[in-house]
Amino acid sequence: MRISVASGKGGTGKTTLAVNMALALSRERDVDLMDFDVEEPDCSNFLGIGTEKVSDVMIDNPVFNRDICTRCGECGRFCRYNAIAVLKDQVMLFPELCNGCGGCAMVCPVGAISYTSRRIGEVRSGQLGALHFHEGVLVPGEAKAVPVIDELMRYAAQDIVIMDSPPGTSCPMMATVRGSDHCILVTEPTPFGLHDLRLAVAAVREIGVEHGIVINRYGSGDSRIEEYAKEEGIEVLLKIPQDMEIARLYSDGIPFVDERPDIAKELVDLYERLEGGSL
């Protein structure tokens, strides 16, 4: 089963949950742990393994042949991202605005446009026992996360895939959650947590993926998440308590599954209940 771990709000504990669930499961079974937060990939900080690049992620940018170009301006008119400026003596491309849609070459009446690839990120992999780790990494300065997410998605291979998703509710999160069978929404019991959870639920409902809620740092706020979950008929799958020991282990990049076998067992049970379809 493919499980995405998402949340509207950043910093709620997605990576913590994804990493610890994957590690706990990997004691018995082969698991893919995949880090889809390609802008700020953090899972690797907790695994203590080396990784190697397995794929470059490229996007196409147009190249204008000055000898053939008649400066008719069709390409600039077609481009919806203001990435092309047609001037008197040259055509300029603003690569950071270019989406690689290929439209400019299609509208050029003289065939003056071809494409060159630019590297915007990479996919890396590593192994820890039965845990197969893959992460996507966007090059800082690049704007588009989705092409890296799409490339990373191709590496999902095991029966169990745990997908650490990006925060927020816009295209990177949607692209990740679309690739899953169930989405676990991690939140915290505060006003910001609830507000962003509502947005995340709306997003996940739009995709049509089954979902449940995990309340992290339970006890550090109030009961609003539970009330909301009840109103909306969404199951609260698990509550992880506010706990200094967990926070300290996290700060040192140590997964808590070894020190806290009680929670490790709850994570394994949770996965098995989801896989068994009893939820």
Candidate list 1, 69, 128, 150; residue touching other proteins; CB under 8 A:
150
Identify which of residues 208 and 277 has a Cβ nearer to other proteins in the complex: 208
Identify which of residues 9 and 182 has a Cβ nearer to other proteins in the complex: 9
Does residue 207 belong to the site contacting other proteins (CB under 8 A)?
A: yes
Give CA angle at 132 (129, 135), nearest 5°.
135
Does residue 129 belong to the site contacting other proteins (CB under 8 A)?
A: no
- What is 211-244 written as a DSSP string? EEEEEEEETSS-SHHHHHHHHHT--EEEEEE--H
* Site map 68..87 versus other proteins, x via CB under 8 A: ----------x-xx------
- Report how far apart the first and last C-alpha atoms of the chain are (Å, whole number): 14
Using CB under 8 A as the binding rule, the residues of this chain from 22 to 61 that contact other proteins are 37, 39-40, 42, 45-46, 60
Specify the 3-state DSSP secondary structure of 190. Answer: coil
Tokens of 47: 């695994």
Candidate list 52, 67, 252, 262; residue touching other proteins; CB under 8 A:
252
Residue of 9, 27, 106 whose CA lies nearest to 60:
106
Order of all β-strands in the sheet with 52-64: 52-64, 113-128, 131-138, 31-35, 160-164, 2-6, 182-187, 210-218, 236-241
Does residue 242 belong to the site contacting other proteins (CB under 8 A)?
A: yes
Contact 215, 25 (CB under 8 A): no
Which stretch in 64-72, 162-170, 232-240, 265-273 sits in contact with other proteins by CB under 8 A?
162-170
* Binding residues vs other proteins (CB under 8 A): 8-11, 15, 37, 39-40, 42, 45-46, 60, 78, 80-81, 96, 99-103, 106-107, 138, 140-146, 150, 166-172, 174-175, 178, 190-192, 195-196, 199, 202-203, 206-207, 217, 220-222, 242, 247-248, 250-253
